[in-house]
Amino acid sequence: MACPRMAAGALFFDEADRVLLVEPSYKDYRDIPGRLCRGGGVAPASLCAEDQEELGIAPYMGRLLVVDWAPNPGEGDKALYLFDGDRLSADDCRQIALQADELRGYDFHNADQVADITTPRLARRIVAAIQARAADQTVYLETGICQRWGPDQSAATET
């Protein structure tokens, strides 16, 4: 049985609580700063190093916001983790220096703008993470949809 691929990302916010999304040179949609995890688990320290490489800043990495199980017969199964990268100050934002061979740009967006500029599954994951952060929770998703279980062990999804 093949192991799922794992990826980790961080949500960074500006002083207006808008989320930072990057514009990768190799994708036609906005994405979050992060990395595919090779050879083992999801280490927040390695995510910090990746964010420093991509964004040119040394961010604080906070708690886990979301775990998203994303089965996909075409791409392979994935376990996706989103951490709270915390709020960036205006000075932090001025220091952002993008890794030019991977990123064309970045901007901050309100939660209601995310669905218009990224993939539906990623948009659901980002919005769920924003909500989890506001509620001081960690949530489990399947393909970006929040999952909760009742006493009878049946899953109940939330939209």
Q: How confident is the model at residue 158 (pLDDT cuts 50, 70, 90)?
A: low
pLDDT tens track for 64-100: 999 999 988 888 899 999 999 989 999 999 999 999 9
**Structural domain containing residue 149:** 5-158
Task: Give the CATH number, domain containing residue 43.
Answer: 3.90.79.10
123: pLDDT strictly greater than 70: yes
The answer to pTM > 0.85 is yes
Instruction: Report the alpha-carbon distance of residue 103 to residue 81 in Å, rounded.
Output: 21
Structural domains of the chain, count? 1
Task: Give yes or no for a contact between 55 and 147, defined as CB atoms under 8 angstroms apart.
Answer: no
Task: Give yes or no for a contact between 90 and 78, defined as CB atoms under 8 angstroms apart.
Answer: no
